[in-house]
Amino acid sequence: MKKLVITLDQTISGNGSYGCSFLKDYKASVNLGLNWAKYNNIQNRVLASSESFTQSYILKVATNYKDLPNLEVGYNGEYKVSGTNILNTTSLNDDSFSQFLTKVSRYTVQPRYIVFWLKYDKETEVCAAF
């Protein structure tokens, strides 16, 4: 009798932004992006699961002149944390038996690891609109 294993991948993401004008000729904005994902894979009859969480922030300040060139300066900092084998399982056993045969198998699982990732971009844009 074979086992039926159903694996479901899960993803949740969202984005938001806010902007405002101040002191007549200036404007500022902030953008936020969030993403969480869980992926399940079966390799050699072993279930492997991994998760990731990503955040992205963008901050911008700009001028809004009518008769002068406009300047926009922004900051984009993004980081991500992901991991595999969160429960730190060291091995999996696959045991079966019948009237004529006994089978004992043991699989070694990749060790737990967590990755921290940081991305930094600085934006400067000059726009001349006359």
Each residue of 20-79: pLDDT tens digit?
Answer: 999 989 999 999 999 999 988 877 777 778 888 888 888 889 888 888 888 888 877 766
pLDDT band at 122 (very low <50, low <70, confident <90, very high): low
Give Cα separations from 72 to 21, 47, 65, 118 (angstroms).
Answer: 13, 48, 11, 24
Place of tokens 């901050």: 59
Instruction: Give the integer Cα–Cα distance in Å for 9 and 22.
Output: 44
Q: What is the mean pLDDT of residues 71-98?
A: 79
Q: Domain residue spans in the chain? A: 10-85+112-127
Per the confidence metrics, is the pTM higher than 0.85? no
Task: State the Cα angle at 30 between 65 and 120, rounded to 5°.
Answer: 105
Q: How many helices (H) and strands (E) in the chain?
A: 0, 7
